[in-house]
Amino acid sequence: MSANSKTILKIDASARKEGSMTRELADELVARLVEARPEDKVITRDVAAGLPFLDEAWIGANFTDAAERSDEQKQKLALSDTLIEELRSADVLVIGVPIYNFGVPATLKAWIDHIARARETFRYSEAGPVGLLEGKKAYVIVASGGTKAGSEIDFATGYIKHVLGFVGITDVTLIAADQLMENAADKRAAALGQVREVAAAA
């Protein structure tokens, strides 16, 4: 990698490996970004297979001072540490968010729980929480069958944007292929057009 190269972190969350709109659009966006900057590095994290949910032992380890953690506690946080390091090292995020039952998939929520850690990706100040991952660009690719992105029944896009902002990532572009049950071909074409536009402007 050159001194000017960037790292792209692609997060896939769709349970579908084939025929997934978020996977297709995310792959297309990453391909176009890399085509423009071949020296960039791509990290792919597919959370669809599932991540362990937080439990009492994880919380206990997280709230133990790093210098005082036992080997068992360090191991308990090892995956979370890896996910945070992937996020910290990335300059660009491409996150595929299929809307399941009006919200994000449970597997993506698990990823969020692992990366949203005080003293690692945010800190508390007298003025409130402060994100520690500033200076990154995020593309959030949303797909839904019937839920309109940004509507009162969409509890996914606003949540993702809030979480990203909470950890310091405020430069977020939303690409939506929503309400695919109505006219999938036209919605796909429109979303692909938006992917091309944002990639050309990157």
* pLDDT tens digits along 15-44: 999 999 999 999 999 999 999 999 999 999
Which residues participate in the annotated binding site?
14
C-alpha dist (Å) from residue 92 to 28, 79, 129, 148: 15, 21, 23, 26
C-alpha dist (Å) from residue 137 to 77, 78, 104, 173: 26, 26, 20, 8
Cβ pair 194, 149 in contact under 8 A? no
Question: Among residues of the chain, what percentage have pLDDT more than 90?
Answer: 96
Cβ pair 154, 148 in contact under 8 A? yes
The reported pLDDT for the residue numbered 4 is 81
Write down the pTM of the prediction.
0.94
Which residues participate in the annotated binding site for FMN?
14
Q: Please determine, for residue 3, whether its predicted confidence score (pLDDT) is greater than 80.
A: no
